[in-house]
Amino acid sequence: MFHRRPLLPAFYKHRLATICASVAFISGCALPPLSERTPSQAISAEEAANTRLGQALQPLINAHPGLSGVRALPDAHDAFAVRALLIHAAEKSLDVQYYIWRADTTGMMLLQNLHNAAERGVRVRLLLDDNGIRKLDRELALLNTHPNFEVRLFNPFVIRRPKAIGYLTDFYRLNHRMHNKSFTVDNMATVVGGRNIGDEYFGATDQTLFADLDVLAFGAVVQDVSYDFDRYWASPLAYPIDQIVKLKPTDTIDDLDLGQVLKQNPDRTQRYLHVLRDTELVQELLQQRLDVEWVKTEMVSDDPIKAEGKANAKQMLSYQLHHAIGTPALQVDLISPYFVPTKTGVRGFERLRQKNIPVRVLTNSYEATDVAAVHAGYIKRRKAMLRAGIEIYELKKLSSGNLNKKGKNPFGSSGSSLHAKTFAMDGERVFIGSFNFDPRSANLNTELGFVIHSPTLAQEISRLFSERIPYSSYRLALNEHNKLIWLEQEEDGSIITHTTEPGTSLFSRWWVRFMSKLPIEWML
């Protein structure tokens, strides 16, 4: 659907490579060989069934052959709690894969929990994209020295300080990242979705929160996630961290202090833990009444060779997604934080409208987005979509911290930014995962998600558009002069009309329009 172009002209790439080769201290530009990497696989289905988690879940799985038990996790506190509780329940293995892992309160708490699991004999495999582990090199390298803990970095850069030198000397690799997010315990339960690991994803910051969505799943689809993790773990781009990050000869696991961040602000940590204990999901688990829906669930995922620029069409998530979810016949509801439909995507929406299929889209407003360049790629398509009859909503920054928030954020967040990636089709099928509706997800980054055949989830998303989204968003329209207007609906039903984009200044509007003219849409 999208066309890839070289990120830099060949001349400049050659000059950068020459600079790299000529500077002595960066003689380590080349990645090391993988000959000493130890192979490993997910535990077998038989081993998984014999764990405590397996014994608890297997009767339910046997009662629903070929199906998966799924529970959507829109609440940020629930999303953290379920990960922490699953780590505590782990007996044999933890296979964890993320694009970003922050060195903040929730990030260090989860690393500490993973270390505790390794201490009690659980095998931990942690696969992280190298672009998202700022300030964690030493901690991750120390964890890797534990006999039950292995860390690999995906598509890493050998130069660590300053890391930007590696970016400049190998810009092509910088632009291909592992965007997958999965969290699998004892090959029996998994969490897949849009959340990375960090305070902004789990409602633990007074800064902007991300409104996001994960799925907790049991049953048939878990084996697929484990298989997918194994092929990324064995990818030629997955490097043991000890080949990339070098510790001092005197460094040992005893030097690890994951609680340092937590000790700096113990009141903050305790406040967050107190909120977690009161979440609805934790209460359900404590009372052994977790509510899940057993439905057909299909995993879709890019082959890891996509990060090398070598995947064919059938190895791409976009191809699998089309075949898994089918062609819409009645309705499409799309939620995407980084929405860059391109000319091809707009034509696809137009064809749907020609068949009288309603299409509704929720994305970030300028004031809510965290990537202005992506907003620039989106704004050039707004009028065409509106003329085609697409309903467009832009999330306000000061909306509720989550699309389905059930509790207050203990830190008093200043606002929210949409980060969930989901769409519902025909009131029957739902996609939830890491895939954004943009060229970067389609062509450059690797992605992972579920297609869930659940009228319950699909209709819930539709209800959001009908009942909640109009009050937390601006609805876009064209006035009689073909100019964009933003309609803000108040709780009393009144409408405020904005003739300029809310939350923008004259300079920011000029800057975004300028970026929208640049030939960068392919990489957004």
Catalytic residue IDs: 179, 181, 186, 419, 421, 426
CA 486 to chain centre: 28
Round the CA-based radius of gyration of the chain to a whole number and report it: 23
What is the Cβ-side half-sphere exposure of residue 355, based on CA atoms within 13 angstroms?
13
- Measured CA to CA, the distance from residue 185 to residue 171 in angstroms comes to 35
Per DSSP, the three-state class of 352 is: helix
> Beta strand pairing status for 448-452 and 297-301?
antiparallel
- Quote the CA–CA distance of 121 and 217 in Å, as a whole number: 24
Q: Which of 175, 178, 182 is nearest to 449 (CA)?
A: 182
131 is written with which tokens?
Answer: 């672009």
How far apart CA 451 and CA 322 sit, in angstroms, is 10
426 phi, psi to nearest 5 deg: 60, 20
Residue type, position 418, single letter: L
Residue 387 tokens read as 């003329």
Work out the number of other CB atoms within 10 angstroms of the CB of residue 344.
Answer: 12
Give residue 269's Cα distance to chain centre.
24
Whole-angstrom distance, CA of residue 107 vs CA of residue 197: 6
- The residue written with tokens 């995922």 in the block is 301
For residues 146 and 254, is the Cβ–Cβ distance under 8 A?
no
Residue type, 308: E
CA-wise closest residue to 435 among 204, 161, 185, 192: 192
**Secondary-structure percent of the chain, ordered helix, strand, coil, rounded to 5:** 40, 20, 40
Select from 465, 152, 106, 51 the least CA-distant residue to 262: 106
Residues 6+ apart with CB under 8 A from 6: 13, 172
In angstroms, the first-to-last Cα distance of the chain is 14
- The answer to whether 75 and 280 are in contact (CB under 8 A) is yes
DSSP code of residue 304: G
Q: Which two tokens stand for residue 336?
A: 């995407």
Residue in this structure with the two tokens 């509510």, named with its chain if needed: 291
> Distance between CA atoms of 466 and 458, rounded to whole angstroms?
13
d(CA 397, CA 391): 19
Per-residue tokens: 176: 């291909």
